[in-house]
Amino acid sequence: MTTMLEVTGLTTRYGSISALRDATLTVGSGEVVGLIGPNGAGKTTLLNTVAGLLAPATGRVTFDGSDVTTLSPEKRVTAGMALVPEHRRIFVDMTVEENLKVGSVTRSASERAADLDEMAELFPVLREKWSTAAGYLSGGEAQQLAIARGLMSRPKLLMLDEPSLGLAPVLVDVVFELLDSLRAAGRTLLVVEQNATRMLEVADRAYVLRSGEVVGEGTGDELAARDDLFATFVGDGAGGGAEPS
Ligand code: ATP
Q: What is the pLDDT of residues 121-169, one digit of tens each?
A: 888 889 999 999 999 998 888 988 999 999 888 899 999 999 988 888 8
For the CA of 42, the nearest atom of ligand 1 = 11
For the stretch 16-50, pLDDT in tens is 999 999 999 999 999 999 999 988 999 999 999 99
Residues 87-104 have a mean pLDDT of 88
Please say whether the beta carbons of 135 and 141 come within 8 A: no
pLDDT at 235: 54
- 229 pLDDT tier (thresholds 50, 70, 90): confident
In this structure, the residue with its CA closest to atom 16 of ligand 1 is 19
Could you give the domains of the chain?
3-89+155-237 (3.40.50.300)
Mean pLDDT of the chain: 89
Q: Taking a C-beta distance cutoff of 8 angstroms, is the pair 191, 35 a contact?
A: yes
Site to substitute for ligand 1 among 21, 36, 44, most atoms within 8 A of C-beta: 44
By most ligand atoms within 8 Å of CB, the mutation choice from 45, 232, 243 for ligand 1 is 45
- Output the CA 120–ligand 1 centroid distance in Å: 35
CA of 17 to the centre of ligand 1 (A): 10
Pocket test for ligand 1, best of 16, 39, 232 (most atoms within 8 A of CB): 39
